[in-house]
Amino acid sequence: MRIDLNAFLSLRNLHSEYFMPFQFISYMFLHANTMHLISNMFGLFIFGPLLEQFWGPKRFLIFYMVTGIGAGVLYSGINYYETMRFEQAVEAYVQDPSPAEFKYILDKKANIDVSRHPDLNSKILDYAENPDSRDYIQWSINQLKSVSQLLSNSQMVGASGAIFGILLAFGMLFPNTVLMLLFPPIPIKAKYFVAIYGLFELFSGIHRASGDNVAHFAHLSGMLVAFILLKIWQKDKRRFY
């Protein structure tokens, strides 16, 4: 039907005029591409069934939805904060523009790998040769404002938050279960696998490489919500569903 589902079902930045509360649920059922969908559903297929048998269908569904929604809420908060910081950096740049600062903001604040954009890179080099040119300064300001607008309307899709929540739950409830990795093909206990994966996501989120569009903090948010929910359930052992 040629309907762009991402336009209104993906999770929008809280700054965006297109943000709607129901997107905290709908974003979980959309994916960027086939491989994104396959990788998430493979994780659900591997780790989900044992948890569903252990908890029962109702509690498993509650866990899946709560971790997915919670990951979206926490990530939106982080995204909102990062967008505010970018806007502040742009405001500071307008007061004191320079080619080096312009490139730094694009690279570190907006996560844009300038080297992958020949036209932009060439323009920046010209700007560096003419740092006092009003035309280049105004061009750079316009570029940053355009990027700010794009960040304010950013979109997130995928069940990764819920999947990482399931991964953490598996590691906590079945810590000594031995998993056989595909790459490399070595056995590893679930608790170590989850710990290594979590640390990798934390490192990737903090030291985010230019051009990396993976929502690492959404993954960590799903794990955090899962941890909190499991602790609440462990305290309330009288309820079984």
Tell me which residue of 239, 240, 62, 238 sits closest to 166, measured CA to CA: 62
Mean pLDDT of the 117-134 span: 92
> Is pLDDT at 238 greater than 90 in this prediction?
no
Task: Name every residue whose Cβ is closer than 8 Å to that of residue 108 and which is 6 or more positions away in sequence.
Answer: none
- Whether residue 218 contacts residue 161, with contact meaning beta carbons closer than 8 Å, is answered with yes
pTM (2 d.p.): 0.85
Instruction: Round to whole Å and give the CA distance between 23 and 8.
Output: 8
pLDDT of residue 113: 82
> Is pLDDT at 104 greater than 70 in this prediction?
yes
pLDDT of residue 209: 64
CATH level 3 topology of 6-80+155-235 = Rhomboid-like fold (1.20.1540)
166-197 residue pLDDT tens: 999 999 999 999 998 877 889 999 999 999 98
> Is pLDDT at 240 greater than 50 in this prediction?
no
Tell me which residue of 47, 75, 86, 56 sits closest to 165, measured CA to CA: 47
- The values of phi and psi at residue 186, to 5°, are -130, 150
Please give the structure tokens belonging to residue 112.
């844009």
Average pLDDT, the chain: 90
User: In terms of pLDDT, which residue wins out, 123 or 238?
Assistant: 123
Task: Name every residue whose Cβ is closer than 8 Å to that of residue 111 and which is 6 or more positions away in sequence.
Answer: 208, 210, 211, 212, 213
User: In terms of pLDDT, which residue wins out, 61 or 4?
Assistant: 61
200-237 residue pLDDT tens: 888 887 766 666 667 888 899 999 999 999 999 988 66
pLDDT of residue 237: 61
Least confident among 71-75, 136-140, 201-205: 201-205
Tell me which residue of 115, 71, 105 sits closest to 85, measured CA to CA: 105
Domain layout of the chain by residue ranges: 6-80+155-235, 90-152
Q: Is residue 12 helix, strand or coil?
A: strand
Task: Name every residue whose Cβ is closer than 8 Å to that of residue 93 and which is 6 or more positions away in sequence.
Answer: 101, 102, 105, 140, 141, 144
State how far Cα 195 lies from the chain centre: 19
Q: Is the peptide bond before 185 cis (omega within 30 degrees of 0)?
A: no
Mean pLDDT of the 123-146 span: 94
| Helix locations, the chain, DSSP H | 6-9, 23-26, 34-55, 57-95, 99-104, 118-129, 134-152, 160-173, 190-206, 216-235
